[in-house]
Structure 1
Amino acid sequence: MKVPAFSLRAEAAEDEAFLRRLFVSGRHAEFAAAGLADAQIEMLLAQQFNLQRSHYRAAYADADWWVVEHRGEAVGRLYVARAMDGRHLVDIALMPEWQGKGLGGALLDRVLADAAAAGRPVHLHVRPHNPARLLYLRKGFVETGLDGADVAMTWKPR
């Protein structure tokens, strides 16, 4: 599979509308399945976006906050924190139309190459039903336990 060309740039204040759309694109179905009205879903998603953003900024203050672009168009985000115990893949998200094209794997390869060059492991948490979990397993991550509703995973350089 030929992976589309992409670039990373630092997240900026003017990216907030895109980041909200990206968040909603990945979470709307969860709330819709609960039978909530559209107005309730919109309110909950706005709250969830704000809470997640605040949590990420507080828990990973020194992380790299990247917007993924293809030919100048924002198509995703990649958040990676560098810590004493290795790299933490805080979040990787792509717009639905960019999923399944190899871009997520290419982004992950970039994170793993950076960690390998530094001799550091990469840690992440993923929902058990998230299709990305299979990608992580293919890339050599091992499941290290459960952390609440998430599966904790670690990749170690060889």
Structure 2
Amino acid sequence: MTDTHDAEKIVLKEGDLAPDFSMDASRARTVSLAAQKGKPFVLYFYPKADTPGCTTEACGFNEALAQFEKAGLTVIGVSRDPVKKLDKFAEKYALTFPLASDESGAVTEAYGVWVEKSLYGRTYMGIDRTTFLIDAEGRIARIWHKVKVPGHVEAVLAAAQALA
């Protein structure tokens, strides 16, 4: 028996137009593709706020934020956590960039990062840690799938600086 969901799986590639989005974010903000028009940005997806890998990744982006901004880019983190949890996460680690809430799952589905995962023989659906570098025209310039956190922020920053 085949799962029709798998047949509909979205696979984005470099050069594709970034799927549209609008989400509520930490610190009473809203983020959207329209608001980023004409400006390159980093959109990174992470599984769950305030877990070890996600905290390391978020703190890494936060520490490099001035360098991203100097290159003319903003950084937006996305998970399916509710905004209230994202606010606590942002406050706990003094994260200043927006952490967007995709509680409905529409954005994680549109970007193809909601995938079947496996842990200790149990399968479940979750976010594949993925980063998209989106250019000023709204096209995907780079994609990092199955991100390993160590060294990732530096790799994204180097690509962002090359793009700028």
Same fold (TM over 0.5): no
TM-score by length of 2: 0.30
TM-score by length of 1: 0.30
The structure with the largest alpha-carbon Rg is 1
